[in-house]
Amino acid sequence: MDAVIYHNPACGTSRNTLALIRHAGIEPTIIEYLQHPPSRERLIELINGAGLTVRDAIRQKGTPYLARGLDDPSLSDDALLDAMLIEPILINRPFVQTPQGIRLCRPSEVVLDLLPPVTRPFVKEDGEVVIDETGRRVR
């Protein structure tokens, strides 16, 4: 199965998502989007494919979101996209695409909806159990 992850290695959610993809036996194409941001068209495709609005896909925590006044509800989607492309840290992460679809994988276990069944136990970096010892997904 092909998979693409828009990854930030400094982000725990992104690292856990990547680990889950690999745990499923898939080596994804990894795009470190801070160094290689998506094109405007690709960003729109990711957002729309995940069923999000542009505002849903913009990251607030740990970004210049407030300093740039991006919380202004009158800003258009185009203005928000411009900001995300100028400062890719504003793109929420991680976006993952497989033949099953596109998701913003927050929390990281959302990625399981895009993967073949995973039945081996999996625990996140912080110790949270995602798949228990019986192979069941913990919700």
Q: Which residues does 77 contact at the CB level (< 8 Å), separation at least 6?
A: 53, 54, 55
Verify that 98 and 138 share a domain, yes or no: yes
Instruction: Count how many domains the chain has.
Output: 2
Return the active site residues.
11
- Share of residues in the chain with pLDDT > 70 (%): 100
CATH number at residue 133: 3.40.30.10
CA angle at 98 for the pair 97 and 103, rounded to the nearest 5°: 40
Asked whether the predicted pLDDT for residue 110 surpasses 90, the reply is yes
The arithmetic mean of pLDDT across residues 10-23, rounded, is: 97
Q: Residue 101: which domain range?
A: 1-33+93-139
Verify that 45 and 73 share a domain, yes or no: yes
Predicted local distance difference test score (pLDDT) of residue 139: 81
Q: Are 98 and 92 in contact (CB under 8 A)?
A: no
Asked whether the predicted pLDDT for residue 1 surpasses 90, the reply is no
pTM, 2 dp? 0.95
Verify that 128 and 139 share a domain, yes or no: yes
Asked whether the predicted pLDDT for residue 100 surpasses 90, the reply is yes
Verify that 87 and 56 share a domain, yes or no: yes
Verify that 137 and 99 share a domain, yes or no: yes
